[in-house]
Chains A and B, each alone.
Chain A
Amino acid sequence: MTTAFIIIAAATLGTATVAMVLRNLIHSALLLIASWAGIGAFYLWAGAEFVAFAQVLVYVGAISMVVLFAVLLTRHSRSEFAVAPDSLGRILGGLLASGATLGVLIGAVLSTPLLAPATPARGITVRELGGELMGPHAAALLILGVLLTVALLGAVVIAASERGPVPRPPPPPVAVQPPARRA
């Protein structure tokens, strides 16, 4: 049990650390996908199957695609994915601050007496989860839907071209087949 956890944690942390260090953006993104998948494995290990499923779907499936698109859209030349080296002071500052935070957090975890029960709590079935979501948390769910809609609309507006619509050429005589809607 614990062995499985240690393997999962080591894989996750390792891929994440390497991703944060590499200079090639594509490599970083791919390693991060692996890291997210590791976190999904952790959820499975912890008995939250639905969350693991959501993690894989959202992070590994969706956000990674968005990240790759962003990387491709913001590169300078066709073949170059490497970023310029960062300044030493900035790296040192980042290491210092994150190291201090790590120390504080580990200290806090170790110094806090946690009354862990002997047996872990039982898991939750998807049916119960659906009842919870549609019952007590229905309002939050609706608001979340609105939030997602607004956020995606806002993302489209922000990322859209600032120069306004390009004047259309006169319509061609033959009607063009509209592109198939993407799922």
Chain B
Amino acid sequence: MSFGPLQLCLLFSSALFCVGLMGALSRSNAILVLLGIELMLNAANINFIAFWRYGPEPSPATGVIFVIFAIAIAAAEAAVGLALVIAIYRHQRNIRLQEADTLKG
């Protein structure tokens, strides 16, 4: 069977997404969890570009605009997330995510 470029791109993004998910799920270091989530976001961006470029009804700019906005938001998210990590570290002297459970029921 032969894959079109669109399928290839989608498979690539799926794999990248799952790598990010695996990192986010299995690492206990909060920074690595955040980086995993960043990878998942990047995988989503790859999808946008793929559909923009090889999609059935390509539109002139939508995909690119979307990705630009997503990158900007990801930058904000990374800044806030890392600030949170620093705040957690100051609070409990480590950044192990499973120990930050003050709000548990």
Chain B binds chain A: yes
* Interface residue ranges, A against B (CB under 8 Å): 1-2, 5-6, 9, 12-13, 16-17, 19-20, 25, 28-29, 32, 35-36, 39, 42-43, 46-48, 50-51, 54-55, 58-59, 62-63, 66-67, 69-71, 73-74, 76, 83-84, 86-87, 90-91, 93-95, 97-99, 101-102, 105-106, 109-110, 114-117, 120-121, 124, 128-129, 132-133, 137, 140, 144, 147-148, 151-152, 154-156, 158-159, 161-162
Interchain CB contact under 8 A, B42 and A63: no
> Given the complex, which residues of B lie within 8 Å of A133, measured CB to CB?
65, 68
Pick from A19, A39, A51: contact of B64, CB under 8 Å: A51
- Distance A34 CA – B15 CA, assembled complex (angstroms): 17
> Given the complex, which residues of A lie within 8 Å of B39, measured CB to CB?
16, 20, 32, 35
Interchain CB contact under 8 A, B58 and A117: yes
With A39-B42, A97-B21, A148-B72 given, can you name 19 additional A-B contacts, CB distance below 8 Å? A9-B12, A20-B32, A32-B35, A42-B12, A46-B49, A51-B64, A67-B34, A67-B35, A84-B28, A98-B22, A102-B14, A116-B5, A116-B6, A121-B54, A121-B60, A124-B64, A144-B72, A158-B83, A159-B87
> Given the complex, which residues of B lie within 8 Å of A32, measured CB to CB?
35, 38-39
Interchain CB contact under 8 A, B26 and A93: yes
| A-B pairs, 3 with minimum CB distance | A94-B26, A94-B25, A121-B58
Query: Could you pull out 8 A-B pairs where Cβ atoms are within 8 angstroms?
Result: A20-B20, A20-B36, A25-B31, A39-B16, A74-B86, A86-B28, A129-B65, A148-B76
